[in-house]
Chains A and B, each alone.
Chain A
Amino acid sequence: MSGPTLYGLAAALLVGLGLYGVLAQASPLRRVLAFNLMGAGVFLMFGVAARRGAAAGLPGDPVPQALVITGIVVAFAATALAVMLMRRLAQTRAEEAAAAASSAPAEHG
């Protein structure tokens, strides 16, 4: 089995695992992690594309590497945004629960 094929299969496996995780997991954090797994698979796929670009006579195609780096940055930003939203959500839920708990006795009393 040639290198690119092996890498391609590994990429497909990663994407598949990630997709499964994103769909099957209930917790947002796990979903975001699964998304990163998927992203890793996609970036690996770009790596495979770079190897195949070598057919043009170059030792390797540099363009996909640039794309992967940009992609990683984007995925990192997305992850950061998601984690921030999760934190805020947890905080707000706690605050709202506390407010409800403190106002509930007042309403009854």
Chain B
Amino acid sequence: MAASSPAGYLLVLALVVPVIGLLGMSVTALIGLRRVEFVAFPVLVAGLAVAGAIATTVAETGEALTYVVGGWAPPLGLALRADGVSAVMLAMAALVVALVALNARALFCADDATPDGRRAFAFWSLLMGLWSALNLVLVGEDLFNLFVALELLTFAAVPLVCLDGRAATLEAALRYLVFALIGSALYLLGTALLYGRYGTLDIGTLRELTQPDLATHAAVALMIGGLMAKAALFPLHIWLPPAHAGAPAPASAVLSALVVKAPFFLIVRLWFDVLPGPPSLPAAQVLAGLGAAAILICSVVALRQERLKLMIAYSTVAQIGYLFLMFRLTAEPGVPAWQTIGWTGGMLQLVSHAFAKAAMFLAAGMIAEALGHDRIAELAGAGRAAPVSVFAFGLAGLSLMGLPPSGGFVAKLLLLNAATLAGAWWIAAVISVGGLLAAAYVTRVLKRAMATPPAPLATRPVALSRELTALTLALVAVALGLVPLQPFELLAIGRP
């Protein structure tokens, strides 16, 4: 545990490469470049390569990658660690960020000297910061270190919401920030309690130490509560719909696909690595119950939205609900959680939702660009104006609905399977009804988009290359449906 792996430096690279990009952007003028995106793309390629290298190393060696910062082993020093789940999520984040960046290039390509250049600079530098913070959340081992990572993530995400500078989006960003800050304070309070009780914040060390007493339970409850506020679990989704709907489409894609997954990932770590003993069933029921409420209520609300992006945002809240079902479905007596199909199903749901939702937001953005608005009632003609985008939207919708072949389908199958084994029939019913509701809100949009408009529309062309990025993301979500129906080894690598 104390020593770094031979390839452990890759973890540092995953954190540092985006930061190098960020620094490079602030000196573009000095090095003679006129646009920040010229810095962004080499960095994206490098980051993608690092994430790919981490994923293949973890998969090949079958062991977690570890890096002990400065050779100071925990509990005094900090460790970075990537197990199977982290490696998968790192790769997912890199792929989503890269494809979203390709799509965003046309939107944020203004010359530094122009007024729009400030927006372009803000977008690219925030994207880099966000990516680095996200990677830190995924590989961090120290609870305070993770707090800093989460804060950095929030600070990068909030300005992305209000890039267009309208009062409405500024308000959404402010609401997001303040609510997230309450969550952070609660998380930090829990961290203080844990430190006071055990004298360490290293997850690997805490795992051995924690006792089922009131202080530990209170601390973990505070931390999970704070994280739920940041993950926008129903009924704490107060900030998500206006923020995700107001941001520019590429920013929404990253926020919805990746940013809300980070706090969820930390909840998973707290739940399985810090909480002592077998997971508590009543608490799992609470989380799963909230997830179920999210699926049912927010899907219906999504169905009633008039704006495409708001609908997708509500769909995100509903889909986050599926993730929280996992805590109930991995509670099999005598079996480690990561060897249950509930674990595989939950993680696959997370990954396929990330790709599908990113594709959907990008597609919605381009449909809105082509038509000049995103009112669902007036989408007729979108199929003609941006056919590839509408197709990508449909493919991504397939995954959200859980229809074959798609990652969402396999995830739903595994979750249903786990619900059966756990005897949690109500969860099975909720998953099935949620699929129907998702089908309703996706087909509602597709049907309008495929209709012929009453009068010929004046549409703006959208570059095919940008549409293809959305399509690629959607195809990845579909391709995830080709994984076999059983617990994956990869997702259990490096679990104790």
Q: Are B192 and A82 in contact (CB under 8 A)?
A: no
In the assembled complex, the CB of A91 is this many whole angstroms from the nearest CB of chain B, namely: 9
A10 interface residue (CB < 8 Å to B) = no
What residues on A are CB-neighbors of B159 within 8 Å? 81
CA distance A53 to B192 in the complex (A): 12
CA distance A46 to B219 in the complex (A): 13
Q: Are A38 and B155 in contact (CB under 8 A)?
A: no
One digit per residue, 1 when the CB lies within 8 angstroms of any chain A CB and 0 when it does not, for chain B 154-192 equals: 110011001001110011011001100110110011011
In the assembled complex, the CB of A103 is this many whole angstroms from the nearest CB of chain B, namely: 16
In the assembled complex, the CB of B453 is this many whole angstroms from the nearest CB of chain A, namely: 28
By CB atoms of chain A within 10 A, which of B147, B148, B189 has the most?
Answer: B189
CA distance A41 to B193 in the complex (A): 12
In B346-395, the 8 Å CB interface with A consists of none
Q: Are A89 and B178 in contact (CB under 8 A)?
A: no
What residues on B are CB-neighbors of A56 within 8 Å? 199
Tell me the count of chain B residues lying within 8 A, CB to CB, of chain A: 31
By CB atoms of chain B within 10 A, which of A22, A28, A46, A48 has the most?
Answer: A46
Q: Are A45 and B170 in contact (CB under 8 A)?
A: no
A24 interface residue (CB < 8 Å to B) = no
What residues on B are CB-neighbors of A18 within 8 Å? 185
CA distance A32 to B162 in the complex (A): 19
Q: Are B178 and A22 in contact (CB under 8 A)?
A: yes
What residues on A are CB-neighbors of B184 within 8 Å? 74, 78
A17 interface residue (CB < 8 Å to B) = no
In the assembled complex, the CB of A68 is this many whole angstroms from the nearest CB of chain B, namely: 9
Q: Are A85 and B195 in contact (CB under 8 A)?
A: no
Q: Are B192 and A81 in contact (CB under 8 A)?
A: no
CA distance A38 to B185 in the complex (A): 7
What residues on B are CB-neighbors of A81 within 8 Å? 155, 158-159, 177
CA distance A24 to B417 in the complex (A): 44
Q: Are B171 and A78 in contact (CB under 8 A)?
A: no
In the assembled complex, the CB of A17 is this many whole angstroms from the nearest CB of chain B, namely: 12
CA distance A37 to B307 in the complex (A): 38
In A80-99, the 8 Å CB interface with B consists of 81-82, 85-86, 88-89, 92-93, 96
B63 interface residue (CB < 8 Å to A) = no
A60 interface residue (CB < 8 Å to B) = no
Q: B192 touches which one: A42, A85, A88, A93 (CB < 8 A)?
A: A42
What residues on B are CB-neighbors of A32 within 8 Å? 178, 181
User: With A78-B155, A89-B171 known to touch, is A53 a contact of B166 (CB < 8 Å)?
Assistant: no
B278 interface residue (CB < 8 Å to A) = no
What residues on A are CB-neighbors of B165 within 8 Å? 88, 92
B41 interface residue (CB < 8 Å to A) = no
B404 interface residue (CB < 8 Å to A) = no
User: With A38-B185, A42-B185, A74-B151 known to touch, is A85 a contact of B174 (CB < 8 Å)?
Assistant: yes
Q: Are B178 and A31 in contact (CB under 8 A)?
A: yes
User: With A85-B162, A85-B177 known to touch, is A70 a contact of B144 (CB < 8 Å)?
Assistant: yes
User: With A78-B177, A89-B171 known to touch, is A39 a contact of B185 (CB < 8 Å)?
Assistant: yes
Q: B174 touches which one: A42, A45, A48, A89 (CB < 8 A)?
A: A89
Q: B178 touches which one: A19, A82, A93 (CB < 8 A)?
A: A82
Q: Are B177 and A46 in contact (CB under 8 A)?
A: no
Q: Are A88 and B170 in contact (CB under 8 A)?
A: yes
What residues on B are CB-neighbors of A74 within 8 Å? 147-148, 151, 184
What residues on B are CB-neighbors of A31 within 8 Å? 178
In the assembled complex, the CB of B496 is this many whole angstroms from the nearest CB of chain A, namely: 25
By CB atoms of chain A within 10 A, which of B177, B191, B192 has the most?
Answer: B192
In the assembled complex, the CB of B156 is this many whole angstroms from the nearest CB of chain A, namely: 10
Q: A35 touches which one: B155, B166, B182, B196 (CB < 8 A)?
A: B182
Q: Are A45 and B189 in contact (CB under 8 A)?
A: yes
Q: Are B193 and A35 in contact (CB under 8 A)?
A: no
Q: Are A46 and B170 in contact (CB under 8 A)?
A: no
What residues on A are CB-neighbors of B76 within 8 Å? 63
CA distance A39 to B302 in the complex (A): 36
Q: Are A89 and B195 in contact (CB under 8 A)?
A: no
One digit per residue, 1 when the CB lies within 8 angstroms of any chain A CB and 0 when it does not, for chain B 127-155 equals: 00000000000000000100110010011
CA distance A70 to B166 in the complex (A): 33
Q: Are B185 and A52 in contact (CB under 8 A)?
A: no
CA distance A99 to B104 in the complex (A): 30
CA distance A53 to B185 in the complex (A): 22
| A-B complex: 9 closest residue pairs judged by Cβ atoms | A49-B196, A45-B192, A89-B170, A92-B167, A38-B185, A85-B174, A49-B195, A46-B192, A42-B188
Q: A45-B189, A45-B196 are in contact. List 6 more A-B contacts (CB 8 A).
A: A31-B178, A38-B185, A41-B189, A63-B195, A70-B144, A92-B167
27 pairs, CB–CB < 8 Å, chain A vs chain B: A15-B185, A18-B185, A28-B178, A31-B178, A32-B178, A35-B181, A38-B182, A38-B185, A41-B189, A42-B185, A46-B195, A49-B195, A56-B199, A63-B76, A64-B192, A64-B195, A70-B148, A71-B188, A74-B147, A74-B148, A78-B151, A85-B174, A86-B174, A88-B162, A92-B165, A92-B166, A96-B166
